């Protein structure tokens, strides 16, 4: 167990340090220039942006607390421990798949299948919001973007083809079909109030981090109409969400898509890349550093002991 902890922490810190130390797009000069020009307003702006990160993660922690109430009641502190530790573990796995296993180890073996289902449910609602608002944003932008750039259209086509292939494989294979049906049945058995709460937490959280991107644009002096810039941000999250990969490259994917979209409105690509890097640091790097403490202090034996006492 100790070796696994060391590997998780080492991998997570490698990802974070590589991002911070070897990122040519994250311009310290640009940051210092803006803070110097804005003065105390710039510092207040940064505090506000950091506060949005806290709100973002409080919503995610509350969402997980609300989900696992179907298994057992956990405190906000315990939910934070599980959520942040699983984030740290997910940094070194593709598509944050490590999050599922990391959360499952906090529960009894017989509870883990449902834990995986609930975690899937939380992520599925977040993806649903991303697809819904991203599609609306992309539809809105058709009046402002005459021709969709080849890289973006290519990604959309790739996503559609991948979905069709996956859909075909799943429903041709009877084993997969039965598995999907079981998952859907299990999800239906989750109380409707939990579904509603998960949807609302996902929706509010989406608006928080998408507006955080918007406020970063204001911080760097970008002047765009609110009702234009938000569809661009929504479209960026939609397109980047269909690309599989590691969290390490999340900033690069979002940065590339954002640069392509904001280029139509004449926004400097250095500003956009600095924002995507900053968003990654605030919403992934800092929470993952906090989560590394929970990974190190996790005691599976104590957890088992506590569970045995509760069962008695």
Q: What is the pLDDT of residues 249-294, one digit of tens each?
A: 566 677 778 888 898 888 888 888 888 888 988 998 889 889 888 8
Q: How many CB atoms lie within 10 A of CB 96?
A: 20
Please give the structure tokens belonging to residue 271.
Answer: 């500003």
**Long-range contacts of 153-157, Cβ-Cβ distance < 8 Å, separation of 24 or more:** 155/239, 155/242, 155/243, 155/257, 156/239, 156/242
Position 212 scores a pLDDT of 97
Question: What pLDDT does 229 receive?
Answer: 94
pLDDT confidence tier of residue 171, bands split at 50, 70 and 90: low
3-state secondary structure of 28: helix
Given a cut of 80, whether residue 160 has pLDDT beyond it is no
| Mean pLDDT value of segment 17-34 | 57
CA-wise closest residue to 96 among 230, 250, 228:
250
pLDDT at 200 over 90: yes
Question: Using an 8 Å Cβ cutoff, are 120 and 179 in contact?
Answer: no
Q: Determine the 3-state secondary structure of 250 from DSSP.
A: helix
The conformation of residue 284, written as its DSSP 8-state character, comes to I
Whether the per-residue pLDDT at 22 is higher than 70: the answer is no
Q: What is the largest CA-CA distance in the chain?
A: 67
Instruction: Examine the pLDDT at 246 and tell me if it is beyond 70.
Output: no
C-beta atoms surrounding 57 within 10 Å? 22
* Sign of torsion over alpha carbons 59, 239, 145, 278: positive
pLDDT-based confidence at 311, cuts 50/70/90? very low
Mean pLDDT of 227-245: 85
Give pLDDT tens digits for 107-131.
998 999 899 999 999 999 999 999 9
What's the pTM? 0.81
What was the pLDDT predicted at 54?
Answer: 96
pLDDT digits (tens, 9 = 90+) for 58-84: 999 999 999 999 899 999 999 999 999
Residue 23 has pLDDT above 70, yes or no: no
pLDDT for 167 beyond 80: no
Q: Residue 214 has which token pair?
A: 């918007």
Bridge partners (DSSP) of residue 246 are: 94
The more confidently predicted of residues 225 and 19 is 225
- 301 — pLDDT class (breaks 50, 70, 90): low
């Amino acid at each position: 167990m100790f070796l696994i902890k060391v590997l998780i922490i080492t991998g997570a810190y490698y990802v974070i340090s590589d991002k911070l130390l070897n990122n040519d797009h994250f311009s310290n000069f640009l940051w210092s220039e803006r803070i110097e020009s804005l003065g105390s307003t710039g510092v207040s702006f940064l505090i506000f942006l950091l506060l949005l990160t806290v709100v973002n993660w409080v919503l995610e922690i509350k969402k997980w607390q609300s989900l696992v109430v179907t298994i057992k009641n956990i405190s906000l502190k315990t939910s934070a421990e599980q959520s942040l530790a699983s984030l740290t573990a997910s940094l070194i796995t593709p598509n944050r798949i490590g999050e599922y296993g990391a959360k499952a180890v906090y529960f009894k073996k017989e509870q883990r299948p449902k834990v995986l289902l609930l975690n899937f449910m939380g992520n599925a609602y977040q993806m649903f919001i991303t697809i819904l608002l991203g599609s609306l944003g992309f539809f809105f932008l058709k009046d402002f973007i005459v021709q969709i750039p080849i890289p973006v259209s290519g990604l959309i086509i790739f996503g559609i083809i991948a979905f069709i292939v996956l859909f075909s494989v799943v429903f041709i294979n009877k084993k997969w079909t039965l598995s999907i049906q079981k998952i859907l049945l299990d999800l239906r058995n989750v109380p409707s109030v939990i579904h509603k709460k998960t949807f609302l937490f996902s929706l509010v959280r989406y608006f928080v981090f998408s507006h955080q991107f918007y406020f970063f644009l204001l911080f760097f002096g970008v002047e765009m109409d609110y009702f234009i810039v938000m569809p661009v941000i929504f479209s960026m999250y939609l397109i980047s969400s269909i690309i599989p990969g590691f969290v390490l490259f999340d900033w690069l994917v979002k940065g590339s898509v954002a640069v392509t979209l904001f280029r139509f409105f004449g926004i400097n690509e250095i500003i956009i890349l600095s924002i995507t890097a900053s968003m990654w640091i605030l919403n992934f790097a800092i929470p993952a550093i906090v989560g590394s403490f929970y990974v190190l202090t996790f005691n599976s034996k104590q957890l088992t002991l506590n569970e045995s006492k509760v069962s008695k």
